[in-house]
Structure 1
Amino acid sequence: MIRIHFLPLLCAALLLARTDAFGGEMPSPYPAPESGIRLTPPESAAPFLNEPRLFGARPGSPIQFAICASGERPMKFAAANLPPGLKLDRETGVITGKISRPGAYTFSVQAANSHGKANGTVTLRIGQEICLTPPMGWSSWYSYSGGVSQENILKTARLLVSSGLAQYGYRYVNIDDCWQGARGGKYRAIQPNKRFPDMKAMCREIHTLGLKAGIYSTPWMGTYAGYIGSSSPNPQGDYSSLALPENKRPQPDQLFGNCPGSQRLGAAKVGPVWMVTQDARQWAEWGFDYIKMDWYLIDVPNTERIAADLKKSGRDIVLSVSNSTPFEIAAPISRLTNVWRTTGDIEDHWGSLKKIASSQEKWQPYTRPGHWNDPDMLQIGRLGQVGKANTTFKPTRLTPDEQYFQMSFWAMVSAPLIISCDLEHLDDFTRGILCNREVIAVNQTFYGPSEKVLSQNGCEVWLKPLGKNRTAVGFFNTGNDRQTINVPLSGLRLKSPQNVRDLWKQEDAGTVSREMNVQVNPHGAALFLLEGKNK
């Protein structure tokens, strides 16, 4: 089994070094919290090193890795025994450079401000695997959507930093559909429409902020939103034989009209001329770090071609494929890609969330460092209408308990944590959901896949091994009434006693000798870390 060494953050973050810190027995039943309140404690002004602290790159590829440290700014960063070929920006904590020799490089880092210092380690693994932890970041699809532009992408990038979300690991700024113009340039690649006047400058600014840039395409001739894709009817990249007349296009470059325009006009298929090769070179030259390739049905031959083109591009680019990967090809797809969608598009209501969560168990054996199941984006915060050029946003239709359910479940199954909300008006509750370092640490730590160990009366219990006698345990209630979920330690394959920590409250909950009895709100979740001996 592939294992990532359990990062030192969790030892500090979860405060589990001493048994006597836990006091008496965990209350039975452990009470459910009041609905609608922020459970995550206020953020500290003192520096704290957060996840991720593991990064993968191929030999000789450009490296950019930001030390994730929360706390009051200004902050100074330091590193001891930094590998040759790398340098650290002491003001931002961004590490850049190249390493040609394969291997694992672990070195000490420090973050300091007027309130104190935080020390820890960072590990860089140089080899053929990248994306060693589930990606965290933001996507434009459920926010700016059809109106995505260079201006609002850069605005979001700056907000990720100024809001502090980047300090908790949210690093990717991903453009979804609707950026495309016509083909051109030295590669005859897809060029951006007029809303993106300078892709290279945009990526450069995103990188200067210590973030990473993502983009979107499809191996089809036309995308779901009706823009051109990465194959073509002819070598010239001329799509006019399939396109709508100019006066019938919702936007000038939306050649095939609104969804399902590409399907109606015959563009929703791989065309005679494959153009991913030149598009990948263009994305690499612009400086993109992540690509979402979106088509249906996802298949192995096209995925193999896409993966090969990205590797030949000269840049490490994370490959995410969407949507609805057929389970029958899970094994080869999980080898070829870094991220693969296990579902159709998520929506911000309980029916969608419940359906997706109920389908994830069979996928767990395929997830591992560098390769992650993707049950789609977090429906948390203020969202826009998909496909619209949104300028205003509405709160998610998920209830507070349902938001705790989604974030807890995504953490347990090692899913990418990609948000798509308005960051300009981030409320305190949403921030508490997104910026709980102990919940994020569960998501970012991998010692093996998650497993459902109980399913009864609409309730489930999942466990995730975290190494060093630590186990994350998630309690989930899909029913409409508050329920008490009972599970013996033997059902968790754990020995008595176990020290228990409530991860959302970031506080010790006591010890458990025989069984856990946990009250869970309807459509809600509870998330714990247990430390003791495994059977």
Structure 2
Amino acid sequence: MKTNFFFLLVAFFLSHGISAQKFDNLALTPPMGWNSWNSFQCDGVNETVIKEMADAMVETGFKDVGYEYIVIDDCWQIGRDENGYIIVDKEKFPSGIKSLVDYVHSKGLKFGIYSDAGTKTCAGRPGSKGFERQDAETYAKWDVDYLKYDWCFTEGQDAIASYTLMRDELFKAGRPIVFSLCEWGENKPWEWAKDVGHLWRTTLDIDMGARYDGNIWGNLIGWSDLVDMQVGLEKYAGPGHWNDPDMLAVGNNNMPENEARAHFSMWCMLAAPLMAGNDLRDMTQVDHSILTNKELIAINQDVLGKQGFKIEDYGNFEIWQKPLTNGDIAICFFNREITDKNYEIDWSKIRVKDFEGDYKIKDLWQNTIVGATDTKMSIDVPSRDVVVFRLSK
């Protein structure tokens, strides 16, 4: 009886992925990089674009502040050969993917690729279902560093089984690859994906065009809606396993400066992956300064690896906290209104966790010390904008 129980227990562990085969020591801070989809989607992506984005990531200083992945998102593959190995679209990528990977690596950057757990990708290209081994072997042979794995055309598939299968094939192929699960939060990946991937989407796609029109935000899901969906998920995130509320929309569809600043700030507070999606060759100085703000990036990349959480909610005015190393604390005042907000801060009354003694206060967007927590202060938070402080002992 005991022997039978032992075998049943082993079978249970194996079937539930307890014996995880995920590459460790990857994505110890949220991945930072650039993804092709938001700007180029399927029709616009090609070999020249990817090379020029790699060049621009270096030339614009993005690499210097931590951005490192260049990720092709769909539309690079066109078929499979007689052995099931993926065929590259030679019209778009005449030199092949391995040559492109080598080019990106020559810039001191890392290369990311895209596939799908279903029969087809979201753009209708060949998916990986049934060919997980061949694809994992191919990515390892090409020296790929990052895989975004989507969830289109997966009717009848089990998400845990599908993603675990690709995890195992990547591990068998032998090359450490950051595994980004993109099943849109449909199966609550935060509850099971820690041992499967390094990051997982918690939401549907961001609506880059969402704007306030007096009543609602856009037709799809605006970035502030995605913020709401992260509430309560902070306990699932940490080094090597991150909640992902989708790519950054800063620099796309003429996002206003206040919105871009708030959007980027909240992604940093949430310890979200920072995947830019704008055209790095042609961006405004405002967008550049937002996406390369070292003080905010330091909040995002803090090695303690804590996701921020909401500590006060006054309707359309919220206060968020993110614990940092050395006992520092990031505090974000988020004004969701279409009018400016004046707020009187009494640090003794705000419900900041692990708040002990006095702290100096640095305004991270102004890059100035603005006081200390032993006195009350007044701040003005513009419409759809933020004020972000770093509190230090």
Q: Write the letter of the residue equivalent to 1:398.
A: M
Q: Write the letter of the residue equivalent to 2:324.
A: L
Select which of 25, 50, 61 maps to 1:153: 50
Judge conservation of contact 2:302–2:325 (CA < 8 Å) in 1: no
In the other structure, the counterpart of 1:529 is: 390
1:423 is displaced (CA, Å) by 1.3
Q: Which has the higher strand share?
A: 1
1:225 is displaced (CA, Å) by 0.8
Q: Percent identity?
A: 33
Select which of 230, 233, 240 maps to 1:360: 230
In the other structure, the counterpart of 2:147 is: 291
Distance 1:300 1:132, change over 3 A: same
Q: Are residue 454 (structure 1) and residue 312 (structure 2) matched?
A: yes
Q: Deviations over 1:168-225 (max 9, x none)?
A: 111100000111111128x632121011122111101111110000111111111111
The DSSP-based 3-state class of the residue aligned with 2:39 is coil
In the other structure, the counterpart of 2:12 is: none
Select which of 333, 342, 345 maps to 1:484: 342
Judge conservation of contact 2:65–2:292 (CA < 8 Å) in 1: yes
The DSSP-based 3-state class of the residue aligned with 2:161 is helix
Q: What CA RMSD, in Å, does the superposition of the two structures yield over aligned residues?
A: 1.8
In the other structure, the counterpart of 2:330 is: 472
In the other structure, the counterpart of 2:113 is: 215
Judge conservation of contact 2:190–2:202 (CA < 8 Å) in 1: no
CA distance in 1, matches of 2:125, 2:230: 31
Distance 1:486 1:310, change over 3 A: farther
Matching of residues 166-205 of structure 1 within 5 Å: 166-184=63-81, 188-194=84-90, 195-197=92-94, 198-205=96-103
1:450 is displaced (CA, Å) by 1.7
CA distance in 2, matches of 1:312, 1:489: 52
Judge conservation of contact 2:342–2:381 (CA < 8 Å) in 1: yes
Distance 1:525 1:320, change over 3 A: same
CA distance in 1, matches of 2:317, 2:183: 28
CA distance in 1, matches of 2:85, 2:370: 56
1:148 is displaced (CA, Å) by 1.0
Q: Which has the higher helix share?
A: 2
In the other structure, the counterpart of 1:226 is: 124
Q: Write the letter of the residue equivalent to 1:372.
A: W
1:457 is displaced (CA, Å) by 2.9
1:496 is displaced (CA, Å) by 4.1
In the other structure, the counterpart of 2:24 is: 128
Q: Write the letter of the residue equivalent to 2:316.
A: G
Q: Deviations over 1:451-509 (max 9, x none)?
A: 21000031111111112121111111111111123454342142342200011121111
In the other structure, the counterpart of 1:21 is: none
Distance 1:201 1:329, change over 3 A: closer
Select which of 248, 258, 275 maps to 1:418: 275
The DSSP-based 3-state class of the residue aligned with 2:310 is strand
Judge conservation of contact 1:446–1:465 (CA < 8 Å) in 2: no
1:160 is displaced (CA, Å) by 0.7
In the other structure, the counterpart of 1:267 is: none
1:516 is displaced (CA, Å) by 5.1
CA distance in 2, matches of 1:531, 1:401: 26
CA distance in 1, matches of 2:225, 2:292: 26
Judge conservation of contact 1:157–1:211 (CA < 8 Å) in 2: yes
Identify the structure with bigger relative contact order (alpha carbons < 8 Å, sequence gap 6+): 1
Q: Are residue 302 (structure 1) and residue 162 (structure 2) matched?
A: yes
Judge conservation of contact 2:55–2:107 (CA < 8 Å) in 1: yes
Matching of residues 30-41 of structure 1 within 5 Å: none
CA distance in 2, matches of 1:191, 1:287: 17
Judge conservation of contact 2:27–2:239 (CA < 8 Å) in 1: yes
The DSSP-based 3-state class of the residue aligned with 2:79 is strand
CA distance in 2, matches of 1:508, 1:149: 46
Matching of residues 297-336 of structure 1 within 5 Å: 299-326=159-186, 328-336=188-196
Distance 1:328 1:169, change over 3 A: closer
In the other structure, the counterpart of 1:138 is: 34
1:291 is displaced (CA, Å) by 0.6
Q: Are residue 518 (structure 1) and residue 379 (structure 2) matched?
A: yes
Judge conservation of contact 1:380–1:421 (CA < 8 Å) in 2: yes
Q: Deviations over 1:309-341 (max 9, x none)?
A: 111112111111113223644221133111101
CA distance in 1, matches of 2:365, 2:87: 44
How many residues matched? 350
- Using the size of structure 1 for normalisation, the TM-score is 0.63
The DSSP-based 3-state class of the residue aligned with 1:406 is helix
CA distance in 1, matches of 2:75, 2:166: 20
Judge conservation of contact 1:475–1:485 (CA < 8 Å) in 2: no
CA distance in 1, matches of 2:27, 2:302: 13
CA distance in 2, matches of 1:371, 1:529: 24
Judge conservation of contact 2:28–2:303 (CA < 8 Å) in 1: no
Judge conservation of contact 1:499–1:511 (CA < 8 Å) in 2: yes
Judge conservation of contact 1:496–1:514 (CA < 8 Å) in 2: no
The DSSP-based 3-state class of the residue aligned with 1:528 is strand
In the other structure, the counterpart of 1:235 is: none
Distance 1:148 1:328, change over 3 A: closer
In the other structure, the counterpart of 1:380 is: 250
CA distance in 2, matches of 1:137, 1:179: 19
The DSSP-based 3-state class of the residue aligned with 2:311 is strand
CA distance in 1, matches of 2:207, 2:283: 20
1:226 is displaced (CA, Å) by 1.1
CA distance in 2, matches of 1:288, 1:355: 33
Q: Deviations over 1:135-159 (max 9, x none)?
A: 1111110112112111111111111
CA distance in 1, matches of 2:39, 2:108: 22
The DSSP-based 3-state class of the residue aligned with 1:362 is coil
CA distance in 2, matches of 1:283, 1:406: 33
CA distance in 2, matches of 1:219, 1:369: 25
Structure 1 runs not aligned, ≥5 long = 1-126, 232-273, 384-395
The DSSP-based 3-state class of the residue aligned with 1:497 is coil
